[in-house]
Structure 1
Amino acid sequence: MKKSWIRAAIFGCFMIEGLAGCSSVKDGPDGGHTVSWYLHHQSKMREERQWCANSVDRSKLTSCQNAGKAGAKALGYNAKKAMQSLGNDLP
């Protein structure tokens, strides 16, 4: 029983290490996400856009393009969410 617990713990550590590396450093601090994800995580979107702005070469990366598209849609997205929330508060 003790050996199986130790094996499970070691396996878990390897899985966490593997998943932690899913986003490549070349894709930025929060790279590899869709436009929709960036809209739902706007602080991460701003970090990604700032990272992308630091180098002209980065503008071609899919992550930078997705963060940029999300930034362009953010005002409308936030306004829609605010209107929906106001609508829910009305009698």
Structure 2
Amino acid sequence: MTVTVPIEFNQEIIEELVQLTKQKIEEEQTQQPNLNELPPYPTRKQLKQHLKIGDTRLNSWINHGLKIIPFGKETRFDREDVKLFLDSLKI
């Protein structure tokens, strides 16, 4: 035996769901770092601050293939190389 129960939503519920969905998407976007906000060739300090990581993690990424640009006494990164490296970490 099959029982079918139609579910009907009134316009208020639909609008509330839309608003909650928009809020959740905006929250997710603000929590994720946007690499395009970095300068084209950020320093170690800028990259760590932007990605909210420490020296240990950054050094590990460098050891696992993140390309660096020696620039006098400091190290810089190509923003596009960082994006490609982070994309390669995706599971």
Report TM bin, short chain.
Answer: 0.3 to 0.5
TM-score of the aligned structures, taking structure 2 as reference length: 0.35
Higher strand share: 2
TM-score of the aligned structures, taking structure 1 as reference length: 0.35
Higher helix share: 1
